[in-house]
Amino acid sequence: MTLTREFLVPAEAAGERLDIFLAAQMPDWSRSQIKRLIRQGLVTLDAAPARKAGEPVESGGHIKVQAAREELRATAQDLPLAIVYEDADLLVVNKAAGMVVHVGAGVTSGTLVNALLHHVATLSSAGGELRPGIVHRLDKMTSGLVIVAKNDAAHRRLSEQFKSREVHKVYVALVHGRMAHDRGEIAKPVGRDPVRRTRMKAGGIAARPALTRYQVLRRFRHFSLLEAEPQTGRTHQIRVHLASLGHPVVGDSTYGAPAILRWGGGEEPTLSRTFLHAARLTFAHPLTGQRLKVEAPLPQDLAVFLDHIESRDR
C-alpha cells in the first residue's frame, strides 16, 4: 500500500525538527522510520526534498510524505483476557497495564483487540477494522475496566452515553506529595503540548474544556492516594490535571514524576508503570437500559507498592 500524506505547518509548530513534527502527525510511524523516509528522499518541504531529519519546519510550510508499507490488520491471538462482565451485547474486561488497546501506532500484536478476536465470537464493526468492539480506550500503562461492544447497535448506544457523559468512571491514583485538600475539582482545558507533541498539556494547543473531580482516600508522608472521576474524556486528562497541580501520578515520567524515589536517606527506582487504575464503571445497558456497575480490584503490583510505602511511613 502506498501512503501519501500532506501537512501544512501551523504557526505554533514553527522551528520544530522535521522528524519530531512528522512523528506527532503520523503516530503509526516511529521516529526512526520517519528518519529513514527522509534519508530516502521520500519527504519534501515546499516541493524540495528534505535535507535532514533535524531541519526546522517553517510556519505555513507544505510537507509531503510518500512511502509504501504493509496494510495493518488485526488478527486473533490467544492472550489472557480477564472478563469481568459479559452478556449477548457487550463485555467488560479488566485490561492489564502494558497492554495496548488496539492495533496501530507501530503495534501489530499483543493488543486487547488481538485477545478479543480470539475469545469473542462477534464484535461490533462500528469502530473500524482495527478497533472491532472498542468503544473507549485506556492508556497502555493504565490498568482497569474497558467496555467492549459485540454488535453495532450496542456500540452506537454506548458511544452516545460516553459522548453525553452518562458513563460514570472512577479511577484510583497514587500521586507524589500531599494534596492540599481532601476533595476538589480541577477545571482546566487540555490540549496538545506545543513543544512535545506526543504529550498533552493544561491549556495546550486547541485546548478543550476538561473537568476532573477527586477525593483523597489515604495520605502517606510523601504520597496521596486518590479517587479521580473525569467528567470529560480528554486524552491523558487525569494525568495532565494532577500534574498541573504539582502532584504527578507515581510512575508517570511523561508528566514529571521522578524516576528515582528518595526517602529515608536512600534511593530506589519508581514504579515501573503509572499508578492509575480504572476501578469502577457505571452505565446503562445499551439494549435494556438496566443500570450496570462493574468493579475491578487494585492489581497486585499496585497493592504491593502501597504496602511498601506504608512500611516506609512507620
pLDDT computed for residue 34 by the predictor: 87
Averaged pLDDT, 143-155: 98
> Chain-wide mean pLDDT for the chain?
92
| Domains identified in the chain, total number | 3
- What is the rounded radius of gyration, in angstroms, for the C-alpha atoms of the chain? 21
Domain's final residue, options 163, 197, 227: 163
Q: Strands 276-284, 143-149: parallel, antiparallel or unpaired by DSSP?
A: parallel
- Asked if the structure places residue 172 within a domain, the reply is yes
Averaged pLDDT, 245-257: 96
**Res. 139 pLDDT band, cuts 50 70 90:** very high
**Res. 107 pLDDT band, cuts 50 70 90:** confident
Cβ atoms within 10 Å, residue 91:
21
Its pTM stands at 0.80
Domain's final residue, options 163, 186, 208: 163
Looking from the CA of 116 toward its CB, the CA atoms found within 13 Å total: 29
Task: Enter the DSSP assignment of 263.
Answer: E
Range name among 22-31, 32-41, 111-120 with the lowest pLDDT average: 22-31
DSSP string for 118-137: HH-S---STT-TTSTTBSS-
Cα→Cα distances 113→73, 78, 103, 239, Å? 11, 11, 7, 24
- Asked if the structure places residue 259 within a domain, the reply is yes
Averaged pLDDT, 254-265: 88
pLDDT computed for residue 71 by the predictor: 60
Cα→Cα distances 64→46, 82, 104, Å? 8, 43, 21
Give the span between the Cα atoms of 226 and 173, in whole angstroms: 5
pLDDT computed for residue 5 by the predictor: 85
pLDDT computed for residue 105 by the predictor: 57
Residue 105: all three cell numbers together: 501506532
Residue scoring higher pLDDT (41 or 281): 281
- Quick: pLDDT tens for 268-303: 999 999 999 999 999 999 999 999 999 999 999 999
Q: For the domain that residue 185 is a member of, what is the CATH number?
A: 3.30.2350.10
pLDDT computed for residue 314 by the predictor: 67
> In this structure, are 186 and 307 located in the same domain?
yes
Residue scoring higher pLDDT (37 or 213): 213
Give the span between the Cα atoms of 211 and 308, in whole angstroms: 32
> In this structure, are 257 and 218 located in the same domain?
yes
> In this structure, are 18 and 98 located in the same domain?
no
Taking 90 as the threshold, does the pLDDT of residue 214 lie above it? yes
> In this structure, are 20 and 40 located in the same domain?
yes
Averaged pLDDT, 99-111: 82
Domain's final residue, options 68, 92, 112: 68
Quick check: 95 and 140 in contact, CB under 8 A?
no
Residue 224: all three cell numbers together: 496521596
208 lies in which domain range? Answer: 168-313
Q: Look-up: residue for cell 460514570?
A: 168
- Asked if the structure places residue 75 within a domain, the reply is no
Averaged pLDDT, 136-140: 94
> In this structure, are 193 and 251 located in the same domain?
yes
**Res. 198 pLDDT band, cuts 50 70 90:** confident
- Asked if the structure places residue 27 within a domain, the reply is yes
pLDDT computed for residue 69 by the predictor: 59
pLDDT computed for residue 192 by the predictor: 86
- Quick: pLDDT tens for 50-73: 989 999 999 999 999 987 655 667
pLDDT computed for residue 68 by the predictor: 64
Taking 80 as the threshold, does the pLDDT of residue 29 lie above it? no
Query: What share of the chain in percent tops pLDDT 90?
Result: 72
> In this structure, are 194 and 292 located in the same domain?
yes
Give the three-class secondary structure for 105: coil
Instruction: Calculate helix-pair angle for 31-39, 18-25, nearest 10 degrees.
Output: 120
Which of the residue ranges 2-6, 15-19, 102-106, 169-173 has the most confident prediction, judged by mean pLDDT? 169-173
Give the span between the Cα atoms of 260 and 265, in whole angstroms: 13
Tell which residue, 131, 125, 126, 90, has the closest CA to residue 112.
Answer: 131
Q: For the domain that residue 26 is a member of, what is the CATH number?
A: 3.10.290.10
> In this structure, are 172 and 158 located in the same domain?
no
> In this structure, are 179 and 247 located in the same domain?
yes
Residue 249: all three cell numbers together: 501520578
pLDDT computed for residue 73 by the predictor: 78
Range name among 85-99, 134-148, 255-269 with the lowest pLDDT average: 255-269
> In this structure, are 139 and 208 located in the same domain?
no
Looking from the CA of 237 toward its CB, the CA atoms found within 13 Å total: 26
pLDDT computed for residue 67 by the predictor: 73
> 192 forms bridges with which residues in the sheet?
200, 205
Give the three-class secondary structure for 289: coil
Residue 197 φ/ψ, nearest 5 degrees: -70, -10
Annotated active-site positions, please? 139
Give the three-class secondary structure for 116: helix
Taking 60 as the threshold, does the pLDDT of residue 153 lie above it? yes
Taking 80 as the threshold, does the pLDDT of residue 2 lie above it? no
